[in-house]
Structure formats: structure tokens, C-alpha cells
């Protein structure tokens, strides 16, 4: 993240020219494999989600430090649109398992447990929108590299994932703000198309592991 480069420069006094950011990204082979339309269809069929449903996916750890996923579940539940669906995956701390369980709504909001790294590519690729309402994780860069529009929580030093419109940021841990941002994307088809175009045209190139490695060796 850019914040780590700033840390090295500001705390340790390293010269800027020696602290260039090396991005995390997405595995090109896994991205290509996940783009198979059959993968999207199979995942959606497995969870009772139609091809024309608007599927939101989020993933990662859910614990006392990352409770914002619960706000996302509440936000989706508050949106009065039967075509909006949410899949949540990741580990859940024991003290929050009941909170997650009681927020699940058949076919609309589903928690599916943990996924290994390879499967996460396929699930994200089946989504129309990926939402990360909490702290940063390596999934953020992966999803940019997969060319998928995102809504993310704003943290200083993480705006490198925004390549000109593929990401919308939320500023607060608020059910209302998350719901409002999701509805903004869903109700404005031109906005969504712009987000998707930037995600595919810029995100998949900038956050490709192959492109990143080529740049680091040049």
C-alpha cells in the first residue's frame, strides 16, 4: 500500500527514489480461469441466484475489528429490491457467529463459510459488485486485478485501487451510507458501466501479477 511507502520515508528517512511502491495484485492464470462463464453460472445456480440478479460479494475475516460486514448485511436487507443478492464468505470469530447467522435471509443474504484462495477468484468473478466495508486486505488488489467494480471503506493510503472510477469509497461505518452507495450504483446504469469499463481496461492491466513482475524487473 502507498501508506507503507510513506512510513519508510517519514519514519526511517529513506529517500523517495528508493521506496517505489510494488503493488499486490491478481494471479493472471486464476483470473483467466475464473472468467469462464460456466464458473459464474455454476456458482449462481448453487446459491439460487439468477443470471439477471445483481450479485454483491464480500469476503474476509469477520471479528471484533472487522464488524463492518454486519453493517453490509443489514444494508442489503434494507434495500427493497428482490433482485439484489449478497454472498458473504470468510472466517467468523465465535462471538459473532450468531450475529452473522441471524442476518442471513434465504437466497438474498447468504454466508457460505471460508473459501481457499483459488476459489475466491471464481466467486468474485461471479459478482456484479464487490463491497469491502471494513479494513484493507489483499482481496482489494485481487479484485481490482479481476476487473470488478468495488465499493470500499476509505482509509488513508489505500486510494491506489481507484484508477479513475472503478471504486466508490464510503467514509463511515454506517448502514445508511453503505445502502445509499449500493443503491447509487444499482440505480445509475451509466455509472455502473463506467465503473466496469475502468475496472476492466485499467484494473486488469495495472494489477496483473505478470505486469507487476515485468515492471519490477525492468
Q: Report pLDDT digits (tens) over 181-205.
A: 999 999 999 999 999 999 999 999 9
- The answer to the question of residue 4 being in a domain is no
- The answer to the question of residue 218 being in a domain is no
How do beta strands 129-132 and 109-111 pair?
unpaired
Instruction: Tell the residue number behind the cell numbers 460486514, with chain if given.
Output: 69
- The answer to the question of residue 67 being in a domain is yes
- The answer to the question of residue 91 being in a domain is yes
- The answer to the question of residue 72 being in a domain is yes
CB proximity list for 84: less than 8 A, separation 6 or greater: 53, 54, 56, 76, 108, 182, 186
Return the number of other C-beta atoms located less than 10 Å from residue 111's C-beta.
18
Residue 60's pLDDT is 95
Give the number of domains in the chain: 1
pTM attached to this predicted model: 0.88
- The answer to the question of residue 124 being in a domain is yes
- The answer to the question of residue 173 being in a domain is yes
What is the helix (H) or strand (E) element at residue 184, kind and residue range? helix 175-187
What is the helix (H) or strand (E) element at residue 111, kind and residue range? strand 109-111
Cell of 151: 465499493
**Range(s) of the domain holding residue 103:** 33-207
- The answer to the question of residue 155 being in a domain is yes
Residue 12's pLDDT is 46
Largest Cα–Cα separation, the chain = 54
Distance CA 65, CA 52 (A): 34
| CATH, residue 122 | 3.40.50.2000
Distances (CA, A) of 4 to 21, 42, 137, 164, 187: 8, 39, 14, 22, 36
pLDDT digits (tens, 9 = 90+) for 108-141: 999 999 999 899 999 999 999 999 999 999 999 9
Amino acid at each position: 500500500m502507498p501508506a507503507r511507502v510513506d512510513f519508510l520515508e517519514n519514519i526511517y528517512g529513506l529517500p523517495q527514489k528508493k521506496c517505489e511502491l510494488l503493488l499486490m495484485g491478481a494471479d493472471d492464470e486464476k483470473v483467466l480461469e475464473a472468467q469462464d462463464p460456466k464458473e459464474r453460472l455454476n456458482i449462481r445456480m448453487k446459491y439460487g441466484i439468477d443470471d439477471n440478479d445483481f450479485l454483491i460479494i464480500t469476503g474476509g475475516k469477520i471479528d471484533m475489528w472487522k464488524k463492518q460486514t454486519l453493517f453490509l448485511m443489514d444494508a442489503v436487507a434494507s434495500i427493497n429490491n428482490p433482485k439484489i443478492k449478497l454472498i458473504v464468505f470468510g472466517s467468523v470469530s465465535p462471538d459473532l457467529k450468531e450475529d452473522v447467522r441471524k442476518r442471513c435471509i434465504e437466497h438474498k443474504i447468504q454466508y457460505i463459510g471460508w473459501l481457499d484462495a483459488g476459489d475466491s477468484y471464481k466467486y468474485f468473478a461471479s459478482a456484479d459488485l464487490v463491497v469491502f466495508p471494513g479494513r484493507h486486505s489483499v482481496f482489494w488488489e485481487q479484485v481490482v486485478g479481476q476487473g470488478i467494480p468495488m465499493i470500499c471503506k476509505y482509509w488513508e493510503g489505500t486510494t491506489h485501487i481507484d484508477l479513475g472510477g472503478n471504486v466508490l469509497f464510503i467514509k463511515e461505518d454506517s448502514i445508511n451510507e453503505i445502502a445509499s452507495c449500493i443503491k447509487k450504483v444499482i440505480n445509475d446504469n451509466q455509472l455502473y458501466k463506467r465503473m466496469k469499463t475502468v475496472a476492466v481496461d485499467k484494473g486488469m492491466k495495472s494489477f496483473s501479477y505478470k505486469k507487476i513482475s515485468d515492471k519490477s524487473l525492468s
